[in-house]
Chains A and B, each alone.
Chain A
Amino acid sequence: KNQVEQSPQSLIILEGKNCTLQCNYTVSPFSNLRWYKQDTGRGPVSLTIMTFSENTKSNGRYTATLDADTKQSSLHITASQLSDSASYICVVSARDSSYKLIFGSGTRLLVRP
């Protein structure tokens, strides 16, 4: 069964600190992996998207990594800001007839001053 698991479920850090969010997937055959940021009460916004051949991608203070062999991804946030408080959702697309997106449950991040 195609699944995406994220950890931790929630995380609290102090402003200015770094953090890393984890994503493990069992989607096969793999097409691409995306990280979305979802502010409370808003729709998800794309941060990064990586295909099989890419193992790292950055978007400002956000850096995503992908290990297609171990089927793991991480999202590293550097020098966190209060505005980083949100849910971060890992999404994997299967390379099948539908290319349906399979969503993780998200990690809820709270950045405190």
Chain B
Amino acid sequence: EAEVAQSPRYKITEKSQAVAFWCDPISGHATLYWYRQILGQGPELLVQFQDESVVDDSQLPKDRFSAERLKGVDSTLKIQPAELGDSAMYLCASRLDRLVSSYNEQFFGPGTRLTVL
């Protein structure tokens, strides 16, 4: 069964360091999402890609966060420099089609647990 892949699964870093997370969506999925989930809360959207284009990054802290999906397939989320408040689970999700009106399912990856010391 096809799954969204993420790596690393766990990352511990010191504040002010740079970190990067990778996501490989389900093959053929046009839409890719990055979410941040703080313990005990629901996920919040950071950025949404449609193919290689960003369609929503309104909640992405652009002074330190960046995301790219250069070839419209896999994606990288970077934080530089990391801060203590960035400790969270970072989830990637993908969806098959480009039609925003469709309720095609979003499939989530296992997440990357980031701890900033």
Contact = CB atoms under 8 A, between A and B. Distances in A.
Interface of A: 4, 31-32, 41-46, 49, 51, 89, 91, 93, 95, 97-101, 103-106, 108
A103 B42 contact: yes
Contacts of A42: 110-111
B54 to A, nearest CB: 13
Contact of A43 (B4, B44, B101): B4
B105 A105 contact: no
Given A43-B4, A49-B103, A104 B42 contact: yes
A104 B44 CA distance: 10
A90 to B, nearest CB: 8
B56 interface: yes
Nearest to A90: B42
Interface string B75-117: 0000000000000010101000000110101111111010000
Interface of B: 4, 40-45, 56, 89, 91, 93, 100-101, 103, 105-111, 113
A97 B44 CA distance: 18
A32 B43 CA distance: 17
A2 B110 CA distance: 27
A93 B103 contact: yes
Contacts, number: 52
A92 B40 CA distance: 18
Contact of A101 (B40, B106, B107): B106
B103 A44 contact: no
B91 A43 contact: yes
A45 B3 CA distance: 11
Nearest to A4: B42
Contacts of B93: 43
B44 A31 contact: no
Given A31-B103, A32-B103, A49-B103, A100 B45 contact: yes
B41 A105 contact: yes
A111 to B, nearest CB: 19
Contacts of A41: 89, 110-111, 113
Nearest to B59: A100
B111 A99 contact: no
